[in-house]
Amino acid sequence: MNHRPLNVTVMLGGPSAEREVSLRSGAAVARALASLGHAVAQLDPQTSVWQLPRPTDVVFLALHGSYGEDGTVQEQLEKLGVPYTGCGPEASRISFDKVLAKKRFLAAGIPTARFEVFSSPAAGWPAGWNPPVVLKPVRQGSSVGLQMIDHPDQWPAALAEALRYDSEALLEEKITGREATVGILAGQALPIAEIRVKHGAFDYKSKYTPGAAEHFCPADFDPESAARIQTAALGAFMAVGGRDYARVDVMVRPGGLPVVLEVNTLPGMTELSILPEAARAAGLSYAQLCQRMIDMALERSRNH
């Protein structure tokens, strides 16, 4: 498939806690797009004041975390009238705020874990809850600040740690089961990936340390369970108003019942990342996936 060469600006890095991963995602995307014959520029927006190189036909967003994934950069690009990859400002903002996203899931009948929100580091152990539970910042990506609590004694330190990253912390029941993630591309659920962590939780460290977690894609779920998981993931993507692509994290209880955790609107795009792996399982190479993402952005701007 021959594409006309474009001037693509890859936005990567940025000011968030996930800067390092974003730099790796963006570098991989830039290499892939250059291999397809596009003229690729890289832009690292370390503050909210930046200028796109001229000419830029389309922006590929390889930012992760706050600023990149919370709708801020999307709003700036909308004002500039430049096509960009991925979800729009509103879907980004809702997905990045785990509580807003969960409210959307519940309204749409998408199964999600029981939860409660805390904003005071002085809050005591919550009534009506038994460990094990999970505590995480409401607005952070990539498992930043994620705490597993197995005993109430751990609560004060875990709450303080989660609140270092955001003004609110989300408490959830810890779902036991298999950890799955579903890539969404162009309104279709890709083959399911299962994550098996060798030690402990699928936290920031195990997510980005080669060999710390194994991905299996396509995952070995029976057809009925697989259909349920993909339906729940696609439902969650639609519930937050997603477009083009995302990655939806799902816990699968014994018996194949999915529980949606969250929607990642700008999932990792390193060579180790799960969305590219799921696309490969569906027959798309890494470079073809990147091309598809910019094609969708350009198509949208043409139809605008």
The pLDDT, as a whole number, for residue 77 is 97
The pLDDT, as a whole number, for residue 149 is 95
Percent of the chain with pLDDT over 90: 83
299 carries an active-site annotation = no
What domains lie within the chain, and their CATH numbers?
7-85+285-302 (3.40.50.20), 94-111+176-265 (3.30.470.20), 115-173 (3.30.1490.20)
The pLDDT, as a whole number, for residue 1 is 46
The pLDDT, as a whole number, for residue 123 is 96
Amino acid (one-letter) located at 79? K
Out of 247, 273, 286, 295, the active site residue is 247
Out of 67, 84, 208, 286, the active site residue is 208
pTM for this entry? 0.92
208 carries an active-site annotation = yes
242 carries an active-site annotation = no
268 carries an active-site annotation = yes
Q: What is the largest CA-CA distance in the chain?
A: 61
All residues at 6 or more sequence positions from 234 whose CB lies less than 8 Å from its CB, including other chains? 182, 184, 187, 188, 189, 248
The pLDDT, as a whole number, for residue 207 is 57
Out of 14, 16, 18, 204, the active site residue is 18
Q: How far is residue 287 CA from its own chain's centroid?
A: 20
The pLDDT, as a whole number, for residue 142 is 55
The pLDDT, as a whole number, for residue 215 is 87
Q: What are the average pLDDT values for consecutive 10-residue runs of the chain, which has 304 residues?
A: 85 92 96 98 94 96 93 97 98 96 98 96 95 92 82 95 94 94 97 86 58 86 97 98 97 94 94 92 97 97 84
247 carries an active-site annotation = yes
The pLDDT, as a whole number, for residue 202 is 55
Out of 88, 141, 235, 268, the active site residue is 268
18 carries an active-site annotation = yes
The pLDDT, as a whole number, for residue 143 is 72
Out of 262, 277, 286, 295, the active site residue is 262
245 carries an active-site annotation = no
Please give the structure tokens belonging to residue 13.
């890095």
**Segments of 14-139 assigned E as strands:** 39-43, 58-61, 115-118, 133-137
262 carries an active-site annotation = yes
